[in-house]
């Protein structure tokens, strides 16, 4: 049943929220500490359990999958109700933070790939195997779930 | 009379109006992504930018603090983009995470993921401090926004950040994702992005699946699945550590 999936998702999200609040209280901060992350772990564990027991059916997948696919539209709605006027007044911080982050991360990728030594490039792998690598995920983004 | 009937129907069914409205925005973004940027900038990033622009317009028109949601006819946007449905949908995305696939990414993927969360957070937090934010909540929220545009608002909502700070945090994340999309092909040679392993490191470090998949697609389409493999965990990991460990650390340093 589709509702099983929606209910599973709701239970995981609620459990995460409760635990996050409790953690916040224990640590003495007025915040939900990591509730969404905890809920995600519960859902991953739930899926794993269902697969092992062979209980994961199309209905459950549909119930969760719908909300997963709805994620970008909801984020767009969320963006549309922020106080952007006040944010714009605070100047170019956004650009500086974003550019700084991207540069630092590109540099780290370069560093790690240098440190880990030479590995086969994609072209070499294909030349060796003589086959194409797994099908590339569709990058249209809107229909499929893209984070 | 017709106008009155329309506006009444739209207001009574506020959430449905929001669905239709956001649907139009998504459709327009997909078209813009395809024809204006030749698919280089992801439709989702364009849609979020349009969302932020509309929020700006809504704020100017109404003088309110809730962007478009302050316009009576579009009040449903507030419900659709509110904390409840947002957390619900974000948690749902974890359903596709395959534990066995995670093991494939291995140690180097995990290291990249941790670094890809810590480095952006530090850079974002420093930028926030440089621009005069002194409270732990704002610094953490903006730092989390530099991780991804999801981790930012999730963290902000969890620790009670101001809406203007949330907007900054989302904008930082979106700007970062767009930079990754556009910049990746240009730096690919320099950072050795031509093999699956570097692609996995890249996915873990850069975060946002939209940024990574579009950036890798523009570099070499064959690398996309490897980058997406590690980037998938980015949001979940960020949502776990940013409003907890990171917030507590910032709070210890900056004071509450």
For chain B, what is the mean pLDDT?
89
B165 in contact with A, Cβ within 8 Å: yes
Please give the average per-residue pLDDT across B97-108, as a whole number: 73
Per-residue confidence at A136, pLDDT binned at 50, 70, 90?
A: very low
Asked whether the beta carbons of B81 and A81 are under 8 A apart, the reply is yes
| Backbone phi, psi, residue B236, to 5° | -60, -45
Task: State the Cα–Cα distance between residues B168 and A75, nearest whole angstrom.
Answer: 14
Q: What's the complex ipTM? A: 0.84
Q: How many helices (H) and strands (E) does chain A have?
A: 7, 0
CB contacts, 8 Å: B222 with chain A = 122, 126, 132-133, 136
At A134 the pLDDT is: 45
- B-facing residues of A in 19-58 (CB < 8 A) are 20, 23, 27, 29-41, 43-44, 47-48
Put simply, the answer to whether A90 touches B77 (Cβ < 8 Å) is no
Per-residue confidence at A131, pLDDT binned at 50, 70, 90?
A: low
CB contacts, 8 Å: B145 with chain A = 97
At A130 the pLDDT is: 62
Tell me the per-residue pLDDT of A73-128, one tens digit each, with 9 for 90 and over.
998 998 898 888 888 877 789 999 999 999 999 999 988 888 876 677 777 777 77
Which of B54, B91, B251 comes nearest A13 by C-beta?
Answer: B91
Q: Measured between CA atoms, how close is A81 to chain B, in angstroms? A: 4
Rounded (10°) CA dihedral B138, B49, B204, B150: 50
Tell me the per-residue pLDDT of B220-235, one tens digit each, with 9 for 90 and over.
888 888 888 788 788 8
Which of B22, B208, B232 comes nearest A77 by C-beta?
Answer: B22
At A27 the pLDDT is: 81
At A133 the pLDDT is: 45
Tell me the per-residue pLDDT of A33-84, one tens digit each, with 9 for 90 and over.
888 888 988 998 999 999 999 999 999 999 999 998 888 899 899 889 888 8
Residue burial B12-39, b: 16+ Cβ < 10 Å; e: rest? eebeebbbebbeebbeebbebbeeebeb
Percentage of chain B with pLDDT > 90?
Answer: 47
Task: State the Cα–Cα distance between residues B243 and B209, nearest whole angstrom.
Answer: 21
pLDDT score of B98 more than 80:
no
Contacts of A50 by beta carbon, 8 Å cutoff, 6+ apart: A56, A60
At A147 the pLDDT is: 40
**Can you give the pTM of this predicted structure?**
0.82
């Amino acid at each position: 049943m589709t509702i099983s999936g929606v209910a599973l998702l709701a239970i995981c999200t609620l459990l995460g929220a409760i635990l996050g609040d409790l953690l916040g209280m224990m640590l003495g901060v007025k915040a939900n500490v990591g509730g969404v992350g905890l809920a995600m772990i519960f859902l991953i564990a739930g899926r794993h359990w269902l697969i092992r027991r062979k209980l994961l059916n199309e209905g459950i997948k549909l119930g969760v999958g719908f909300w997963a696919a709805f994620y970008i539209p909801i984020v767009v709605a969320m963006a549309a109700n922020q106080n952007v006027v006040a944010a714009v007044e605070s100047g170019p911080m956004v650009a500086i933070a974003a550019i700084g982050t991207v540069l630092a991360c590109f540099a780290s990728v370069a560093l790690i790939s240098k440190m880990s030594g030479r590995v086969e490039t994609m072209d070499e792998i294909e030349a060796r195997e003589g086959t194409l690598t797994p099908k590339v995920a569709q990058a249209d983004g809107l229909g499929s779930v893209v984070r | 009379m017709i106008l009155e009937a329309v506006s009444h129907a739209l207001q009574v069914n506020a959430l449905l109006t929001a669905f239709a409205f956001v649907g139009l925005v998504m459709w327009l973004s997909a078209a813009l992504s395809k024809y204006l940027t030749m698919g280089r900038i992801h439709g989702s990033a364009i849609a979020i930018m349009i969302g932020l622009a509309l929020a700006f317009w809504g704020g100017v028109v109404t003088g309110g603090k809730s962007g478009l949601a302050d316009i009576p006819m579009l009040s449903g946007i507030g419900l659709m983009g509110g904390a409840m449905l947002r957390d619900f949908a974000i948690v749902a995305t974890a359903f596709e995470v395959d534990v066995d696939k995670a093991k494939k990414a291995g140690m180097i993927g995990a290291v990249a993921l941790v670094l890809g969360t810590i480095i952006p957070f530090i850079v974002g937090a420093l930028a926030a401090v440089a621009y005069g934010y002194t409270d732990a909540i704002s610094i953490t929220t903006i730092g989390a926004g530099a991780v991804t545009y999801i981790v930012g608002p999730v963290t902000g909502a969890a620790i009670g950040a101001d809406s203007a700070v949330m907007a900054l945090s989302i904008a930082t994340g979106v700007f970062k994702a767009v930079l990754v999309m556009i910049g990746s092909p240009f730096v690919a040679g320099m950072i050795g992005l031509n093999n699956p392993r570097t692609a996995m490191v890249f996915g873990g470090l850069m975060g946002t699946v939209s940024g990574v998949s579009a950036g890798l697609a523009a570099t070499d389409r064959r690398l996309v699945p490897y980058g997406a493999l590690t980037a998938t965990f980015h949001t979940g990991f960020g949502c776990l550590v940013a409003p907890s460990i990171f917030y507590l650390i910032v709070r210890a340093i900056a004071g509450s």
